[in-house]
Copies of this chain bind each other. A is one copy, B any other.
């Protein structure tokens, strides 16, 4: 449903209750603080369609692999993101009727996600019986300042005649995942108790043994007076307090849930209960008003650096802010053990926490908007997983420290179990090397290479060196049996992108090794010894790289996506009937595979990464060939095409592709938002504006811009952090204004011309 949510520059608004769309809304209104997050499930009883979901960073369950036909090399489990303790639990009874929006008449309904302040609000008016209507108002948030705390402010107002009200506020630990392979329970309940009006529940994940304690205390007021409570227990896994009262007409009762959730991922298991109860004590002491104000301030502070302001196009404005907001709710970068799950804290689907999306799409967003340490944490995550990547390669028969990073992972172990992806979508290794290159180039952090970079590059290079084989027929090294970024081709030979990434990795590792050898001090000898690296081995990488085969078509002046691509039927996306799309829902898999249709940027993905290495003519030829064949059925695709289109001056195409990416979930483009949000592709929206419309690149260590203004927009502006400095760019119809917010001069390139912006100074430049 396009245009279901109201457009607003800072808010997502839903102003009617649509039960059949409830699961989409649950996804859209998700909130989180990087450590915890949840779908917008109703606090009170709801018997309609719903996907219950409250998630905790780092907590997962290794769900036994489910396949139709086992293939050697498959992993034993898939790490599932866990639906965990339900802390928003409310049972509301009015005149003995249980309030349930799926059962009662909803007279009025309004929900908003206030992105500026990070708060989810709802107001519902419900008809309870002939004489009784009530208004529920709720407000909730995960504190961005106190990351173990979350709050629900819930009030019930009597709009009818005098009525009895009974509110139970509770914690619930007997929760299930929707996505389980064998209907197993992922949690083991430990204990629960209530003392001094504070109740708590402890449970532990099966197998992985993460322990979580959730504690809660309510502040309940009616006319400024506290209400008497009574312990509520339903088994041991549902615990809370019940408040009974009578409401006169227009009278309200208000309940504030203070919740602390602490896990053994962060805290000592032994003192977990104590730690959690302490958090509650402090929260109550500080008080709700202070805590919500601190939380808002923290968000406001974030927006100062992250915001992209678009004037003249409220749909685009709402879209980009929504994407930035959700990204920041998912990953805040303090902890190198965490990463950016494909659904963040908004759903279970896909499981795992890390795909190549992180390196290829998300890292540049965090580089531009966050701190170096956040980005370093993203890289160290992979560095820490190197031993597992080596094990993973060993399982597939590779030796001598070759590393294959997993397609999907939580802790470094491969979780994916579909041979054509798990074993063959090996280009992911390239993105991990590219991220090292990208990070070092962006921050100028040469020290990273010796400390964390070279061993990862070595493992990856060893993988490529073993994965190629010599073709006597082609007199070159070939890479057989792969799946490229375009997953609508499986088990193909010589995927241009994969071959290119392999070649680039080998040369980059060779160059890095030599750089480190030359600058002796940076490269400790014990690292060489540890890696058992010889000059001969490193030279063999360079040698292989120089003889890797690339499929090309002279006739079309393009790189071929893979061997045999020109054998495909010569039809274009324009030849498809509307009812055939999306192909992945309408066509059988084999038909998709043998068709020429491309799911996502593949050759163009490679040209995007290394645009400077290709001529404009070559880029244009390839874009003109592949774009008409690309169906963009991956959320990761349109942003790359948008950026390249912008670079080629194809402004309409760039804008079209931007629209496709930035409102993907808000407009439920792929008809799957109910499963959760497409978190990682949200970084692509930011990239489309910054790298696409503003044409930002790093060129010879300098920030470079080549901006244009989409026709429909009045202006746009954003800030870029680069090497400790912050530059604000505003592009309007007349000119481009650049502001240096730092205390040192900043040299930038704009339209390929070097410009110096004085400390705290600004310049303006005319459009090209």
Contacts and interface: CB of A to CB of B under 8 A. Distances in A.
Interface of A: 65-69, 71-73, 395-397, 417-420, 423-424, 469-474, 478, 480-481, 490-494, 563-564, 566-570, 584-594
Given A397-B587, A493-B564, A594 B469 contact: yes
Contacts of A588: 71-73, 395-397, 423
A479 to B, nearest CB: 9
A551 to B, nearest CB: 11
Nearest to A67: B68
A72 B480 contact: no
30 contacts: A65-B68, A66-B68, A68-B417, A72-B585, A72-B587, A72-B588, A72-B589, A72-B592, A396-B590, A397-B591, A419-B590, A420-B420, A420-B490, A423-B588, A423-B589, A469-B568, A471-B567, A471-B568, A472-B570, A473-B567, A474-B567, A480-B567, A480-B594, A481-B594, A491-B491, A491-B492, A491-B593, A493-B567, A494-B567, A563-B563
A768 to B, nearest CB: 39
Given A66-B67, A472-B566, A494-B567, 6 more contacts: A67-B68, A72-B585, A471-B567, A474-B567, A480-B594, A563-B567
Contacts of A492: 491
User: Which 4 pairs show the lowest CB-CB distances between chains A and B?
Assistant: A73-B588, A423-B590, A481-B594, A473-B566
Nearest to A479: B594
A472 B567 CA distance: 7
A226 to B, nearest CB: 52
A588 B426 CA distance: 14
Contacts of A568: 469, 471, 480
A490 B493 CA distance: 12
Query: Which of A492, A564, A584 has the largest count of B CB atoms less than 10 A from its CB?
Result: A564
A329 B469 CA distance: 49
A614 to B, nearest CB: 23
A403 to B, nearest CB: 15
A504 B4 CA distance: 57
A398 to B, nearest CB: 9
Contacts of A589: 71-73, 419, 423
Contact of A478 (B395, B567, B585): B567
Contacts of A469: 567-569, 594
Contacts of A418: 68-69
Contacts of A473: 566-567
A756 to B, nearest CB: 53
Contacts of A491: 420, 490-492, 593
A576 to B, nearest CB: 13
Nearest to A65: B68
A481 B491 CA distance: 10
A424 B589 CA distance: 10
Nearest to A474: B567
A33 to B, nearest CB: 32
A462 B588 CA distance: 18
B584 A72 contact: yes
Given A72-B588, A417-B68, A423-B589, A564 B563 contact: yes
A72 B593 CA distance: 12
A341 to B, nearest CB: 18
Contacts of A417: 68-69
Query: Which of A566, A589, A593 has the largest count of B CB atoms less than 10 A from its CB?
Result: A589
Nearest to A493: B564
Nearest to A66: B68
Contacts of A69: 417-418
Contact of A73 (B73, B396, B490, B590): B590
A569 B591 CA distance: 30
Contacts of A481: 590, 593-594
A518 to B, nearest CB: 36
Nearest to A397: B591
A79 to B, nearest CB: 14
Nearest to A467: B594
Contacts of A594: 469, 480-481
Nearest to A567: B471
